[in-house]
Amino acid sequence: MQEKYYPSGDINTAQTLAAIGSILDCQKKYDEALDFYQKALTIQERYHPSDHFDIAKSLIDVGNVLSSQSKHDEALEFFKRATTILEKDYPSKSDDIAFSLRKIGFILNIQGKFDQAIQSYKSAIQIQEEYSPSSLDQIAISLCSIGAILDSQNKYDEALDFYQQSLTMLKQYQPSGNAEIASTFSQIGSTLRLMRKHDEALDFYKRALSIEEKCYSHSPNRIAQRLTLIGDIVGAVKNYDEALDYYHQALVIQEKHYRTDHIDIVMSLKGIGNVHNYKGRFDRAIEYKKKSLRMQEQLLPRNHPDIAWSLFDLGATYDHIREYSFALDYKLKALMMRRKCFPRNHQQVGHILHGIGVTFENLNQLNLALDYFERALTIYDKSLPNGYPG
């Protein structure tokens, strides 16, 4: 390694260290990648002025790894430093600035700072429209991200407007259809599903599937993802046997083409578990939900919000079979995990508090139930426009 020949470090060493970090990052070896990126940054800061472009790029690299490790507060500071350098001294580097702004928006969204997140994405759009108007695909990604934030705030009509803007732009970029168009169709479908417009949602999911079957037959796992979503919407209208068929189709594809556990398999397992739950087959539901939870715990960072949701969901299933001690255990674990992921007044924390209240009510511990319901209500009043949990 070059460090052996340049113990004090020089610019060539920094470039090689960053290149190694990039490979390790792609391999998801985040601790090692972070070490190499930070060594590269240290050398660059020694040899370059503090506002040098290479330093900004390394700050983004470090921020990316920290974000992948769910160290969002630390990552945010690196992205902000990078953005400050780029906006001040390299305004023509619009794609790099926009990338950093999108990452800031992503983290702010996770932190529940929705208005700031939307503003960050809008800033990314503005700078690319000014300096790089041909970057239609990147502008479309920012529009889609704003739509997703609005979805999380239950502002579905506004979300659909941003998704449609994104879709219009993507069709200009690649009229024949591509993965981003299929993904946007799918997101529109998910929003329509939340609006209980199930027929329209199913249509968009199937349009996404059609693109992927034509253009991405070499990528069966993408097709499996869409089958899972169609299973979700078919299940939502209580066509449970049909939903189960879609989930099993997806699972067969996924288990064939993924060599190890994968998050897509988790989604199919959860879908199958949910169908069994709806049909009153609670033992089967618990079997599949536990299997998906174990896989999530292997695949996702510790305290990931999706793990918290799975814990809560499993607890709710135990409620159905009156195993309230198990239900309470899973829900309390979910609450602890959610509080590590989100602000205390986040809507999803309120949802878990409400669920814990339900279990205490089932246990006839009414004072505790009332306490949790009131805590949930306080959060809903702060986080939802109409103060209602929906």
Burial 256-287 (b: 16+ CB within 10 A, else e): eeeeeebebbbbbbbbbbbbbbeeeebeebbe
The predicted-structure confidence for 295-305, as pLDDT tens digits, reads as follows 999 998 888 88
pLDDT at 203 over 80: yes
pLDDT value, residue 30: 94
Contacts of 231 (CB under 8 A, 6+ apart): 243, 244, 245, 246, 247, 250, 268, 271, 275
Query: Residue 4's pLDDT band (boundaries 50, 70, 90)?
Result: very low
Select the more confidently predicted residue: 215 or 4. 215
- What CATH fold (topology level) applies to the domain 220-291? 1.25.40
Select the more confidently predicted residue: 135 or 207. 207
pLDDT value, residue 98: 93
pLDDT at 390 over 80: no
Compute the average pLDDT of residues 375-381.
90
pLDDT value, residue 175: 63
Tell me the CATH number for domain 300-390.
1.25.40.10
Picking from 88-102, 277-291, 293-307, 335-349, which range would have the lowest pLDDT averaged per residue? 335-349
pLDDT at 387 over 50: no
pLDDT at 142 over 50: yes
pLDDT value, residue 303: 84
C-alpha dist (Å) from residue 22 to 43, 60, 62, 176, 225: 17, 12, 10, 32, 28
Compute the average pLDDT of residues 207-226.
84
Percent of the chain with pLDDT over 90: 71
Looking at every residue in the chain, the average pLDDT score rounds to 90
CA dihedral 271, 200, 350, 281 (to 10 degrees): -30
- Please say whether the beta carbons of 103 and 83 come within 8 A: no
pLDDT at 3 over 70: no
Select the more confidently predicted residue: 380 or 78. 78
The predicted-structure confidence for 157-168, as pLDDT tens digits, reads as follows 999 999 999 999
Query: Residue 1's pLDDT band (boundaries 50, 70, 90)?
Result: very low
pLDDT at 134 over 90: no
Percent of the chain with pLDDT over 70: 94
Residue among 170, 226, 159, 233 at smallest CA distance from 196: 233
C-alpha dist (Å) from residue 229 to 73, 110, 171, 242: 32, 23, 23, 12
Question: Where in the chain do CATH 1.25.40.10 domains reside?
Answer: 220-291, 300-390
Compute the average pLDDT of residues 186-199.
93
pLDDT value, residue 343: 67
Question: What distance in Å separates the CA atoms of residue 309 and residue 172, rounded to the nearest whole number?
Answer: 38
Query: Residue 348's pLDDT band (boundaries 50, 70, 90)?
Result: confident
pLDDT at 72 over 90: yes
